Structure 1
Amino acid sequence: MNKPLPLTGIRVIDYSHFLAGPFLSRSLAAMGADVIKVERPPLGDAGRRHGYFVGDHSGYFLQQNMGKEGLCVDLRQPQGAELMRRLIKSADVFVENYRPGALKKLGLGYETVSKDNPGLVYCSISAYGQTGPYSSRPGFGLIAEAMSGAMSIIGVPGEAPPLFRMPLADMYTGIHGVAAVCAALFGRQSSGRGQHIDLALYDCMVSMHDFAVQAYTMSGGKELPVQTGHDMPDSTVYGVFTARDGHLVIAAQVDEAWIRLARLIGGDALAADTRFHHAAGRNANREEILPLVRQWTIAQENVAACVRALDEAGVPSAPVQTIDQVVNDPQIAARRMIIEQDHPVLGKIRLPNLPFNFSESEPLTPRVAPELGQHNRTIAVDLGFTETEIDAMIANGTLYSA
């Protein structure tokens, strides 16, 4: 019999919106946690109004909030505030991504709620963190990506940096939140106490630099990484190349891979050229090497022919796939990275899965993201409210559903 998922029995309150927080809690749900998505009336999470849309339903919201129950409550109402306090008291984890200090004003700051629930792991996500001169400034992932220097080193030299078109700051911060929450839950096993986790989009983006910051600091400020276009001057050959019907990437920056690539594109003579047998030599002579690679890729029949020849030669490469190719890739199917759900209104929907695989637990298809306030009554009953009290809260708008 399969064992329960690792976080089975952990209750998570997701009082966050848009992406970093919802992605964090969605990940915890995929690991077995019981996640309750708390939203504010009358509109709920702003992610509900972010495309792609089918009818009134946002694919963005459906993707980041699958696997959760839905509660919509007005915290300005006394009973709403009481319900939220009971809910947090019952929880193991609380996730929020409001501007620092905002929840403190509502009586939901860590110092307050941890008095009633000392074991609570309280995770705050913000643009700049809870401390520092920028802490009160608003921000989204784009802001952190720009501030971090990451945008300054992508794109073509002399042109404005492009948008990443993937939410790196939000997703990277969200997955750091998963790690921090799990670590805090583990630490609670011995200490009996939870703690406040302070995550910043800006911090997480800066931590992602694998080379740029060290190059600058360790060179005494002499080495300032800049845009390099389609390849990396410090890792020849490692970049994007053009074929007749599209593009591919080649990663032959390691000595052995280079020799195999050289033999493929230039025969034994190029493979034997000792100037290129080490990284320093290849980098110094990149203007001689790169045209040879480009000439070879454009001379092949198509991208597939390039990749096939490179595979046979033992040189790492891949096509630059479009999204339709990704969705229909047999490897993605084998890994269950696109999952199908039965939506009560939309019917069959297909959305990206999460990459968690546990040997002792069978992967499950999570429930679809909740409608606004879908589980109000069942959650309130679980917290000890009577049917009469719940009816009154629905009548006066404390509990709201669409």
Structure 2
Amino acid sequence: KRSAYFIQQNRGKQSLCLDMKKPAAVELIKQLIPKFDVMVENFAPGIIASMGLDYKTVSAINPRIIMCSISALGQTGPLAHDPGFDFIGQAYAGITSLIGEEEGPPYMPMVAIGDVSTGVHAMGSIACALLYREKTGEGQYIDISLLDSYFHCQTVGVELYSASGGKHELKRSGLHHPLLAPAGIFKGRKWHIIILAGFDQHWPRICDAIGRPELASDPRYANAASRGRHRDEIIKLIEDWLMSMPDDQESIDALRARRVPVAPVLSVSEAMNHPHLIERGTVRTINDRILGEFQIPGFPLRFSKFPDELELDAPFLGEHNEVVLTKYLGYSHDDVARLTADGVLHGAHH
């Protein structure tokens, strides 16, 4: 089976498909280990060791290899062996508790932020380990967890609670920031609009935009703390102005012209069709061998020495069995056929 999700996550890869319950498959991996710089595994903690492919074994075969284990909750600790997915790590990290209305239950966002963040953390740590190896000649083991990556996203909450001796704890606050104003999601004539203008330099600009320049010197709104105390008044001022405008785009244009941070809250389809995302290649159109043409998120990194768009194709499972084993281990066509007949190798029919 082949899905758009599989294609998005696996472009540019070669697929060697093994039945890891077969001892011969494990031996194949051991033969490949000396040929590679990095080994990444995503099994539950303890599984890779039960196969005989723990870091001690792997590094004995190739002392220069970087081995990275990615798991939900980490390789150690009381929760290490619990099953987990993105939202499990999110909940344990205190992130879910911050999403939703102030007086209501927490909400679950429909985007796997932790899955992506954990992969990016893994990529960064592998790059650092490779640089270390270039300087020392030594490989190493990396333990990356979804929970740790999510907790690292706590840019304010942890230190706020700790440094205040527990007096201040960040909590969910619905549409608007709990301390800064104006900073939140405002209702326009048709759209929802996010405005982040809680800092002192932005306040006179937004006062000018809404036609109330005198509010810039009003003592009630003199600084961030006082504006936070009068948050509800400020929300009403801005939403009244938004409703008085001919349309929401004109409101956004007025704020942008004064360099007030503002954006429409776009749906997925609206974001896909936004000219800025299209021009930068943030939205990319690809052509798959089975599903045909469709759009995916483009590569978010821009390298000056790399092509803007590599022509990457997603593999079928086991598509490169023979290519990999021939190139790296010198296996013959008959060797690959025998391993396939024995159930060690698998390949999808397409």
The TM-score with structure 2 as length reference comes to: 0.95
- 1:3-402 matched pairs, under 5 angstroms: 56-382=1-327, 383-402=329-348
Distance 1:75 1:210 in 2: 40
Distance 2:311 2:100 in 1: 38
The one-letter amino acid paired with 2:336 is: I
Identical aligned residues as a percent = 36
Distance 1:335 1:314 in 2: 22
CA-atom RMSD in angstroms: 1.4
**1:44 paired residue number:** none
Distance 2:32 2:311 in 1: 22
Ranges of 4+ aligned residues in structure 1 off by more than 6 Å: none
Distance 2:345 2:154 in 1: 45
291-300 vs 104-113, which deviates more?
291-300
Distance 1:99 1:294 in 2: 49
Shift of 1:127: 1.6
Distance 1:144 1:327 in 2: 28
Shift of 1:73: 1.0
Shift of 1:367: 2.1
The one-letter amino acid paired with 1:209 is: Q
Distance 1:101 1:173 in 2: 19
CA contact (8 A) 2:64 2:138 kept: yes
77-86 vs 89-98, which deviates more?
77-86
CA contact (8 A) 1:89 1:113 kept: no
**1:36 paired residue number:** none
The one-letter amino acid paired with 1:208 is: C
Residues 245-300 of structure 1 show CA distances to partners (whole Å, capped at 9, x for unaligned) of 11011111121211110122242221221331311111122232221112111222
Distance 1:183 1:361 in 2: 20
357-366 vs 216-225, which deviates more?
357-366
Distance 2:188 2:334 in 1: 69
Residues 94-141 of structure 1 show CA distances to partners (whole Å, capped at 9, x for unaligned) of 111111111101011111111011111111111221111111111111
Q: Give the gaps of 5 or more residues in structure 2.
A: none
The one-letter amino acid paired with 1:322 is: S
Shift of 1:354: 1.7
Residues 12-49 of structure 1 show CA distances to partners (whole Å, capped at 9, x for unaligned) of xxxxxxxxxxxxxxxxxxxxxxxxxxxxxxxxxxxxxx
Distance 1:367 1:86 in 2: 27
Distance 1:400 1:196 in 2: 29
CA contact (8 A) 1:70 1:375 kept: yes
CA contact (8 A) 2:65 2:139 kept: yes
The TM-score with structure 1 as length reference comes to: 0.83
Q: Give the gaps of 5 or more residues in structure 1.
A: 1-55
The one-letter amino acid paired with 1:135 is: A
CA contact (8 A) 2:102 2:173 kept: yes
CA contact (8 A) 2:73 2:147 kept: yes
Shift of 1:341: 2.2
292-301 vs 358-367, which deviates more?
358-367
Distance 1:280 1:77 in 2: 64
CA contact (8 A) 2:99 2:108 kept: no
88-97 vs 171-180, which deviates more?
88-97
246-255 vs 153-162, which deviates more?
153-162
The one-letter amino acid paired with 1:399 is: L
